[in-house]
Structure 1
Amino acid sequence: MRIRVSTGLAVVLLILVGAGAFWAGRVTGAGPRPAADQGYDAGHADGLREGRAEQATVNLPTTDKAIFESGYAAGATDVFAGYDGGWDHNAPYVIVLAPGGPGATYRIESRTRLEPGVDYYLCPDGHELCRRPR
């Protein structure tokens, strides 16, 4: 059974076009997230919060639901206990977690805001964050 030269060239050309399209997509990257996706993420987070509140309070009176919602919001703030101020929005941080206190799995032990022009690495002791200028 012989394959025609034109068929073979067509197959090779199809493979090359497919590979080129694949690599063009990889090189261009995803870029920053569109505002619509950020809105989706915010709506998703709100939906999770409301869903958990509904699930936890399904058979409770309205006043108890309000108390639960208040506690949920307080818990979201308490996660930053000891660091509830001075956070920069949209800035990267390295956060070290430690075992939490009663009723909490974790607490923030320390935080370090990442700065441009600085290399960060794990210190030789394996527990500290070291840095050096680039």
Structure 2
Amino acid sequence: MSSFGPASPSVRRGLGIGIIVVAAIGLLLLGRLTAPHAKNQPGNYQSGYSAGVKAGQLEGVQEGRASQVGSEVPAASRQPVADAFNRGYTAGENDAFTGYDGGWALGVPYIITLQPGVGGITYRIDARTELQPSVNYYLCPDGHSLCQEPRP
């Protein structure tokens, strides 16, 4: 028979807490060891961060302009005015990319040439060139056109 009696409640509680702490540390270490490391994916974080900042900035500009337009009318009319502004803003952004047979490919880089707009529109897209693999692009000697040649 052992000379030790049953453990007191405080000893059992201390032992339970110790086991929980050891298990938590073990799970934390396991998670750290199995998580992907940022240095293994150098561009992913930065490109995702940049895309998020850009999207937030564009959304903020639109919301700010809608709020500014709505602030000039009575309170009861602010939401309908902001909604109309947002519909027009979206239509304008979509219209900026129309006029090309076949539309635009998403996620594909283009070189575009801008010209002055008319009727209060600052710019219009005059020409676009979809970038192709194995092609070098450069400014032509005339200083305005895009020249290209096959990449060796």
How many aligned residue pairs are there? 105
In structure 2, the CA distance between the partners of 1:72 and 1:131, relative to structure 1 (3 Å rule), is same
**Letter of the 2:70 counterpart:** T
Q: Is the 8 A contact 2:69 2:81 kept in 1?
A: no
Whose Rg is larger? 2
Residue of structure 1 equivalent to 2:144: 127
| Aligned CA distance change for structure 1 residues 124 and 89 (closer, same or farther; 3 Å) | same
The structure 2 residue matched to 1:41, chosen from 48, 54, 62, is 54
Unaligned runs of 5+ in 1: 1-29
Relative to the length of structure 2, the TM-score reads 0.59
Instruction: Give 5+ residue unaligned stretches, structure 2.
Output: 1-41
Verify: 1:31 aligned to 2:31, yes or no.
no
Amino acid at match of 1:48: V
Retained in 2: the 8 A contact 1:77–1:84?
no
Q: What is the letter of the counterpart of residue 134 of structure 2?
A: G
Question: How far did 1:100 drift?
Answer: 0.7
- What is the RMSD of the two structures over their aligned residues, measured on CA atoms? 2.2
Q: What does the per-residue CA deviation read over 1:39-95, in whole Å, with 9 as the maximum and x for residues that have no partner? A: 343233222211111012113313222211111111111222424852122222111
**Residues 1-134 of structure 1 correspond to what in structure 2 (within 5 A)?**
31-32=43-44, 33-60=46-73, 61=77, 62-83=79-100, 86-134=103-151
Distance 1:86 1:70 in 2: 21
Shift of 1:34: 4.6
More helix by share: 2
The one-letter amino acid paired with 2:127 is S
CA contact (8 A) 1:121 1:131 kept: yes
Percent identity over the alignment?
49
Which letter does structure 2 place at the counterpart of 1:117? S
* TM-score (normalised: structure 1): 0.66
Shift in CA distance, 63/85, structure 1 to aligned 2, threshold 3 Å: farther
Q: Give, in angstroms, the shift of residue 125 of structure 1.
A: 2.5
4+ long deviations beyond 6 Å: none
Q: In structure 2, what residue type is equivalent to 1:42? A: A
Partner Cα distance (1:133, 1:41) in 2: 33
